[in-house]
Amino acid sequence: MANPLLPRVEAAAARLIYALPRPIRRLIAGKPIRLDGQELALDAQLLLRLQQVGKSSMSQDTPELARAMLAESQHLVSGKPIEPVSTRELTIPDDNDGIPATLYTPDGLPEDSGLLVFYHGGGWVIGTRASHDNTARFLARYAGVRVLSIEYRLAPEHPFPAAADDAVAAFDYAYAKAKDLGADPERIAVGGDSAGGNLAAVAAQVTTRRGGPAPAFQLLLYPGVDASVRRRSRELFGSGFFLTDTDMTWFIDHYAPTGVDRTDPRLSPLLAKDFSGLPPAYIATAGFDPLRDEGEAYGEKLREAGVPVAASRQSDLIHGYVNFLGVGTRFREAAAEAAGALRLGLAGIN
């Protein structure tokens, strides 16, 4: 049985390392890393060095092992719970066993606020509401919105399109029950990081194309939007920058195994034929991320279709940065920009 004190000790050690004088942190991290005209932030490089010491990887021999390792390590760099934010557990009814969800409400937020339906990252295979708890809290508090964080079904037990179906069902629930959730039904955004960004983009496309209620805004954080091809950024940053080429192959093979059409827009929303009429979007990419180029290509597709887009490359960061809120300062700065974009994206909608 794992020692319950170990994660606390490791988290405290990480905070101590980040509190060291900059010259010492640079000595631990090593010489600055420059690639593709970008320089990796010291906070990110130091995290990668600590990851090398721990020999951690998101992909493992089995999904069960990968999930267990994430559960053990998720609090190492996420930071102390952001307060004051209240939570309420609920279940979204569907045709299966229901979708568990958590509603986050910052203290003092009035009724009829904006609401973000949030889909966690983890390659559709790992990740939970718990692994992204502080990310949801951060967005709720600093964007001034309610956040409905969804526990969608994971692969390989539930392969494509289960997660995509849950993403759409969650938005539909949020819209139908907006008043019960304390939200304005016309100020509901969808958003997520990585695989969660994929699901948010899919939910926006599906709801827009069918007619009827659709999101008012998209918050897409380093999203995976094309499972059909390899882009230059995957070749450049596929090793040594947290999310690896091996991880990406492992994730997609579990979510979309042999026989799945990987050009299906519900899996690869970048390949949709029509982008017109989609909600305004904030799309953040990380400079040292294998997913960088496809996320930026998605922003171009939206822009070409006349959709308002704020595209932001965090050129000095790595994949996953909105989960690293407990160490350094650079990750929180990038997350704060996303929260500000969400606040502005929902503020002017009546």
Catalytic member of 59, 194, 233, 268: 194
Residue of 165, 193, 289, 293 with catalytic role = 289
Which of 75, 120, 132, 319 is catalytic? The answer is 319
- Specify whether 276 is catalytic: no
- Work out the angle between the directed axes of helices 42-54 and 330-347 (0-180°, nearest 10): 120
Neighbours of 224 (CB within 10 A): 32
Known catalytic residue at 289: yes
Dump strand ranges (E) for 261-330.
281-288, 309-318
Nearby residues of 285 by Cβ (< 8 Å), 6 or more positions away? 222, 291, 292, 295, 296, 311, 312, 313, 314
Start-to-end CA span in the chain (Å): 53
Helix (H), strand (E) counts: the chain: 12, 10
Q: Report phi then psi at 250, rounded to 5.
A: -60, -45
Tokens, residue 151: 């526990």
Question: Known catalytic residues?
Answer: 194, 289, 319
